[in-house]
Structure 1
Amino acid sequence: MNDFIGGDYDVIVVGAGHAGCEAALAPARLGFKTAIFTLNLDNIANMPCNPNIGGTAKGQLVREVDALGGQMGISADANFIQSKILNKAKGPAVYSLRAQIDRRAYSAYMKYVLEQQENLDLKQAEVTDILCEDGKIKGIRVHTGTVYSCKTLILTTGTYLKGCIIIGSSRISSGPDGLLPANKLSDSLENFGIELMRFKTGTPARINRRSIDFSKLIEQPGDDEIVPFSFMTGELKKDQVSCYMSHTTAETHRIIHENLHRAPLYSGDIKGVGPRYCPSIEDKIVRFADKESHQVFVEPMGIGTMEMYLLGVSTSMPEDVQMKIMQSLPGLENVSVMRPAYAIEYDCINSTQLRLSLEIKSIEGLFFAGQINGSSGYEEAAAQGLMAGINATMKLQNREPLILDRSQAYIGVLIDDLVTKGTNEPYRMMTSRAEYRLYLRQDNADLR
C-alpha cells in the first residue's frame, strides 16, 4: 500500500511555539512554500510559563529578532499589558525591555499572523517520524499515516518530546499545560543516530485574583513612558495593569524544609536536569540557606482572566505542600489555586551535533531550534527559530548560511554557545555571556 502524500513543501516546521512561528514565517515571507505542524492549533505561541517577553539579555534578543524581520516584537507590542525598562540604575548596555503579555491575546494574534501569511499552510497533527534517504531529509509522517515531503525540515518541538508532568509522586505523560505530548518522534530521531538528553523545567501555580489580599502586597506599576519592542511600532499609549510583590517568610522556609523528603527534586523522582538560573522554590531554600526571604511576584495572565502567576514559586511539591507554601506568603493566606505548579521532563538533543546554521551534521536539510536544542525561554527560542528559518531558505538557494558572530549579536552568542560548548542544563541567555555586551545594546540592534 502506497503512502498518502498530503503535500509537498520547500520547508516544513514541526511545532508552533515561539521558535516554530519564526521558523515558519521567515521562509514563507521569502517566497518558499512552507507548512507548520502543531498538536493543537489553539495553542500557537503558547506561554506555558511566565506570560512575559523580554527582560535582561532577552529584551536584546527580541530587538535583534525584530531587526532581522522576525515577528515576536511586533506581536508583543500589540498584546502587552505592562511595559518596563529593567536595569535603569546601570549603564545603557544592560538596559532591557520587559513586557507583561496577555497570554491568550498573544496566542490568538500570532495564530492570525500565521493564517494570513502567503505561502504558509497550518496543519494540526502529531508528527511521528522523520523520513530520510541517502543522508538527506525527505519529509515527515504524521500519526494518521499521511506523508508530507519537503526539501528542508525544522524541528521546534519545545518541551513536548516524551513530556512528563510531575507533581509530588504523580507522573503523567503530558505536554505543558496538560496538552498532549509527542511520544513517538524521539524514537525516530534516535533511529537516525541523533543523541538525545533529558532536561527538566517547571512552572508555578496559577491562582485566582479574587483570593488575594492586595493590601499586603507591594504594587509594581509599569513605566509611564512605553518603549516598544519593534522598531516599526509607533508611539504606544495604553492603560497598563500592575504586578505585585510578596515574599517568602520563615514559615515558608520551615514548611519546605519539613517536606523536602516529599520533593521529587530531592527524592530522585526527577531524572531530568533543571535550569540553574530559574530554580524551584525548594531548590532556592536549600541552595541559599543564608537568605531569610525570597521575592515573589504576583503577575496577571491577561486582561480577560482572573488568573495570576506566582513568579518565584516554581515547584513540583505535592499539592498539599504547595497549598501550605502559598498560604504562608503575605497576601495569599486565603489563596484559591486554579492550576497547581508542576515540573516537566522532556527530551532534547545534544546541541553539539549541530552546525552554526542550526542544521544537524548527520542529516542534510534537517534543522533544530528552540528548547529541543537545550535552551530555555521564549526569546531564545524565537531567535533560534528565525535563524533556522533563514538558513533553511539559504540551503534551498545553495547560498552560504547566515551566521552571526559573537561580536555582532546576542543571537550569535546564544547559537555559538549551544553549538560549540553544548549545555548540560537548560541554557538561558544572560548579559554576562556576551563578551561584547557594551556594544550589543538593545537600542542599536537595527544598526548592527
Structure 2
Amino acid sequence: MNKKILNIAVPNIVSNITIPLLGLVDLALMGHLGKVDFIGAIALGGTIFNFLYWGFAFLRMGTTGITAQAYGARNLSESILSLSRALTVALAGSVLILILQKPIAMLSFWLIESEESVETIAKSYFYIRVWAAPATIGLYALNGWFIGMQNAKTPMLIAIVGNIINISLSAFFVYGLMLDAKGVALGTLIAQYCSLFIALFFILRNYKRLFKYWSAKGMMKVQELKHFFLVNKDIFIRTLCIIFVFTFFTTESASVNKEILAVNSLLLQFLFIFSYFMDGFAFAAEALVGRFIGANNSKNLSQLIRLLFIWGIGISILFTGVYGLFGIDILSILTDAESTITIARDYLKWIVLLPLLSFASFLMDGIFIGATASSYMRKTMMAATILIFIPLYYFLNGTLENHGLWIAMLGFMFTRGLFQAIYYKKAVLVHFSK
C-alpha cells in the first residue's frame, strides 16, 4: 500500500514543489528590484487570480474523485466522459473571465485597498496574465483527470516543464527586457499555454483508445450530469470559503501598511510550501480512495487511511523543525530588505506551529474528494470559516493586531481537519453500507 501511495504522492510532490518555487521566484525577482511596492503588487495580483482560478479548482478536485471511482469500477465510458464534461465547463468559464476582465479588475482593486503605487503595478500585471485563463483552467480539468486515472507522472512532467519555461521567461523579461511585474505576468502567460499543449499531447498519445467510449448521448445522461454538477457545486462553495479566507487575510494585511502586506505575503509562502508537500499525499488519497470505493474494497481503504496519517504526522514534524531552525534564512533568500525581515521575525512562531496544526486538513480534503463527499466538505469548510476564522480575527485583532490575523488563520486550518474527522463515517464509510 505504501508503494501505491508513493507512486502517486511523490510525482505530485515533485510537480507541486515547482508551484511554490515559481511563487518564490516571482517574489524574489520583485524583492530584489529595490522597492517593496513590487512585492505588494505581485501579492495583490496573485490574490485576484487566486480568487478567479481557485474558484475553478472544483474542476480538478471533482474530476479526480469522479474519474477515480469510474477507474475503480472499470467504467471506461464514464472515465472519458468525466474529462469532456470538465473541459466544457473550463472553456465556458475562461471565456467568461476574458469577456468580463475589466469589470473584474475594477471590482477587485476597489475591494482590495492598497497604496496607489502598488495598485498601478498590480493592474499592469493583471491585464497581461488574465489572458492565460483558458490554459490555466483547462489544466485544472486535465490534471484532475490524469490523477483520477492513477497517472501522477504526466502532471509532474507538465508542471516541471511548464514552470521551467515560466521561471526562465520571467527572469529574462524582468532583468533582460526590464519589464518588472509585466515580465512576470508575460512569462506566466506563455508558460501556461505551453503546459496546456503538452497535456493535450499526452491525452492524444496515451488515451486515444478511450475516445471510442465517448458519445454525445453519454454526455447528456441526466443522473451523471446531476452527480457531476452537485459534486462540483459543493466543492465550488468550499473553495469560495478558502478564497474568502486568503483574500481577507491579504486585504487586512494591505489595510495596515505596505510593510505588513509584504511581510505576510512572504510568510504565506511558508504555508504554501508545506501545503504543496501535503497535497502530494492528499492527491494520493483522492485517487486511491476513489479507486477503492469504486472497487468496493473497504479493507484497502482502511489501510490506506492509516498509512496516510502516518506520513502526514512525519512530514509535519519535519517541516516544524525546518521552519524553526531555518526560518530567517528562508526569508533572507526571498528578500534583502532588512526592515521586512526584522518585522517578520515577530510572526515566525506561528509559521513554526502551522504544519502540526494543519496537516490533517489536507489529508481529509483528499479523502473526502476521493469519496465525492462534497456536501460534507462544503459544510465543514463553511463552519471553519464562519464559526472559527472570522470570530477569532475580530476578537483578537483589537489587542493582538497582526498576531490575531495569524492565530485566526491557524485556527481555520486546524478546525477544517477536525470537523471533517467528525463526519468521516457519514461521508466516506457510507459507500460500503449501500
TM-score (norm 2): 0.24
Q: Which has the higher helix share?
A: 2
What's the TM-score once normalised by structure 1's chain length? Answer: 0.24
